Structure 1
Amino acid sequence: MDYLGAKADILGKLTNELPQSLYYHGLHHTLDVLYVAEELCALMRISAYETMLLKTAVLYHDAGFMFSSLDHELRGCEIAREALPAYGYFASEIERICGMIMATKIPQTPRNPLEEIICDADLDYLGRPDFYSIGATLFKELEAAGILKSEEEWNRIQVRFLETHAFFTPVNIQRRRPKKLQHLANLKALVATYS
């Protein structure tokens, strides 16, 4: 399994082929998720082999955005299935990677520890101090796509999303959930001021 070769290939494609209007789902998001996934794997003592599979899934989890935001997870799996055999990944490994990618589809549906880790890494920012600055990039992306029209609408959506979201790994439940609940309380207070 040539992880570094696969990584260089997909990062090159993401750099050159992701639309410029992806203020949130750009290369920086994939790299952020990769960093958090590595951190969670270390904290949870995940084996080097399993960590490599997970990191590969992270690199492809939003690759479908090169083509469309609609069903981008499915397209990411297609891209992984096309590319990874050339880097020595077995079909069984690629299917596990695709399981991890599909688990990130909202609402998240992880079925095993690696899928739980990628889900938590993907939405790690919900419980971090940079929640508002990262959220602003998602608002800008959705506004540019014509999905959102106002900050009020965005804040109402954020409240609903935070109310239904849950971290899965014991690590992120402990380290991110308290801050996420604080963000939710702040947003609820803000939304309560709307007439």
Structure 2
Amino acid sequence: MIDKAKDHCTQLLLNGSCSKLPFHNIEHTKEVVDNARLISNYLGFTDDETEPILIAAWFHDTGLSKTYIGHEEVSKALASGFLKKMHYDPNRLDTVLECIDATKMPQCPKNKYAEVLCDADLFHIGTPNFFFKKLLLRREWAVNGIMNVNEMEWHHVNLKFLHENHFKTRYGKDILEKGKLVNEAKVKYILSFYN
């Protein structure tokens, strides 16, 4: 089922408006899937436990193929329609939808599966890759009319985001949180030159 979801979502992400997004594109989705697998392995999840998380990871941004604001609801509808057609187990389908729902900001995961997808989605904020990713996101938000700010304001936006978002899983707390604190310190350092 993961492979079927991967093929279906790849088509949606490559052929919809997502293909033109600097940040929320197929590459981001592939990274989230890989991150979710890594975190699930670290936590000792079985293949059965990991499956709905990976399916949710493939679907979580597919709604961007149709809308930018509120895309999670569209992603859930796309996942639900596809998985029902595949006669996917209704209880596992609920888990997939709960995972996708939890990626809405601010993240509010209601179970351990959703916690994995939340950390997988924000994985980059705990890595050195954060500074490259935030450039892509800034461009995406400017192009889509979400936010168009100067350099100093953008650093303040990122500092607030880093400060307010915390990893949910043991992997996130053990490994990614340290990197996030390093990134927070770097942004503060950058901002010290604007005073």
Range of TM-score over shorter length: over 0.9
Deviation of 1:86 after TM superposition, in Å, equals: 2.2
- Percentage of identical aligned residues: 27
Q: Is the 8 A contact 2:16 2:65 kept in 1?
A: yes
Please name the residue that 1:65 is paired with. 64
Please name the residue that 1:145 is paired with. 144
Please name the residue that 2:83 is paired with. 84
The runs of 5 or more residues in structure 2 that have no matched partner are none
Deviation of 1:82 after TM superposition, in Å, equals: 1.0
Please name the residue that 2:28 is paired with. 29
Deviation of 1:20 after TM superposition, in Å, equals: 4.1
Please name the residue that 1:193 is paired with. 193
Q: Is the 8 A contact 2:14 2:26 kept in 1?
A: yes
After superposition, the Cα gap between the structure-2 partners of 1:43 and 1:140, relative to the gap in structure 1 and judged at 3 Å, is same
SS of residue in 2 equivalent to 1:106: coil
Structure-to-structure mapping, 1:107-186, within 5 angstroms: 107-146=106-145, 147-186=147-186
Deviation of 1:12 after TM superposition, in Å, equals: 1.4
Structure-to-structure mapping, 1:5-16, within 5 angstroms: 5-16=4-15
Q: Is the 8 A contact 2:13 2:19 kept in 1?
A: no
Give the AA of the match of 1:52.
Answer: E
Please name the residue that 1:106 is paired with. 105
Q: Distance in 1 between matches of 2:79 and 2:89?
A: 12
SS of residue in 2 equivalent to 1:134: helix
Q: Is the 8 A contact 1:18 1:26 kept in 2?
A: no
SS of residue in 2 equivalent to 1:176: helix
Pick which of 82-91 and 118-127 moved more. 82-91
Give the AA of the match of 2:54.
Answer: K
Q: Is the 8 A contact 1:57 1:100 kept in 2?
A: yes
Give the AA of the match of 1:151.
Answer: E
Q: Is the 8 A contact 2:115 2:169 kept in 1?
A: yes
Q: Is the 8 A contact 1:159 1:187 kept in 2?
A: yes
SS of residue in 2 equivalent to 1:13: helix
Give the AA of the match of 2:104.
Answer: K
Give the AA of the match of 2:178.
Answer: P
Task: Return the TM-score normalized by structure 2.
Answer: 0.94
Give the AA of the match of 1:61.
Answer: H
Give the AA of the match of 1:10.
Answer: C
Please name the residue that 1:42 is paired with. 41
Q: Distance in 2 between matches of 1:6 and 1:174?
A: 30
Deviation of 1:18 after TM superposition, in Å, equals: 3.1
Deviation of 1:179 after TM superposition, in Å, equals: 1.4
Q: Is the 8 A contact 2:32 2:121 kept in 1?
A: yes
